[in-house]
Amino acid sequence: MSFWKKKDNLIITGFVVLFFAGLALWYDFSSVRAAFFPNAAPTSAFEVPFVDQNQKQLTISDFTGKPLVVNLWATWCPVCVKKMGGLNRFAEKFKEKGGEVLNISLDRGGISTVRAFYNRNGYTFPIYIEATGHLLDAFGGRGLPTSIFIDAEGKEVGRIEGGLDWEGDEITSRVDDYFGIDMSQ
C-alpha cells in the first residue's frame, strides 16, 4: 500500500500542513492582513490618526519640530502599568528640556477607561487614544509597551519594545544619544 493511501498518513500530513500554515499566519499576521485589506491602515505611522481627551483627531506629524517619545501602551498591560509612574515623571522632566512624550493608549474602552486610570494614579500627561492597533502595526511593533524615539525632523532614531526604567541610566543615555538632551540634571 502506498504512503498516501494510508488513512493515518493523510491525517498526520493534514495536521502538519495546518500547523505550518497557522505558524506562518501567526508569525507574520500583519503582512497577511495588509495583503487582504490594503486600505485597513495608513502606511506611514506618522499619518495614523489618534485622538486626544477632547476627541480631537491628531497624527504624530502634528508634533514634528521637537524631540518626541511615543509610548504605545494599554491599561490591561501589566508591564505598561508598572512602568507608568516613572514614565510620568520622565515626561515632566523631558518637557522641561523641550521634548514631548505622547503616551498613546491602545485601550478599546476609550477615553473614560484611560481617564479613570490616570485619575486613580495621579498621572499628568495628556491622554491620547488609538484603539484600532493601526499605529502599532504601522510602526512594526510586536507588543506592548513599545516606545519610539523620534527626532525634531520627524525621523525615528530608536525604539524600545518592552519595559524600561524611565528614571534609570539607560534612558538618560538614550535621550542624550538620540536628542543631545542631558536628562541627568
pLDDT in tens, 108-158: 988 999 999 999 999 999 999 999 999 999 999 999 999 999 999 999 999
Q: Quote the CA–CA distance of 130 and 52 in Å, as a whole number.
A: 9
Q: Which CATH architecture has domain 45-179?
A: 3-Layer(aba) Sandwich (3.40)
Q: Quote the CA–CA distance of 53 and 8 in Å, as a whole number.
A: 59
Percent of the chain with pLDDT over 90: 72
Residue 96 clears pLDDT 90, i.e. is over it: yes
* Cell (9 digits) for 120: 486613580
Task: Judge whether 93 and 185 are in contact, CB under 8 Å.
Answer: no
Place of cell 536628562: 183
pLDDT tier, 1 (very low <50, low <70, confident <90, very high otherwise): low
Residue 34 clears pLDDT 60, i.e. is over it: no
Q: Quote the CA–CA distance of 171 and 169 in Å, as a whole number.
A: 6
pLDDT tier, 36 (very low <50, low <70, confident <90, very high otherwise): very low
Give the number of other CB atoms < 10 A from CB of residue 91: 22
Residue 30 clears pLDDT 50, i.e. is over it: no
Residues 24-52 have a mean pLDDT of 65
pLDDT tier, 21 (very low <50, low <70, confident <90, very high otherwise): low
Task: Judge whether 68 and 100 are in contact, CB under 8 Å.
Answer: yes
Compute CA 38 distance to the chain's CA centroid, rounded to the nearest angstrom: 20
Give the number of other CB atoms < 10 A from CB of residue 70: 24
Supply the pLDDT for residue 50. 96
Supply the pLDDT for residue 13. 77
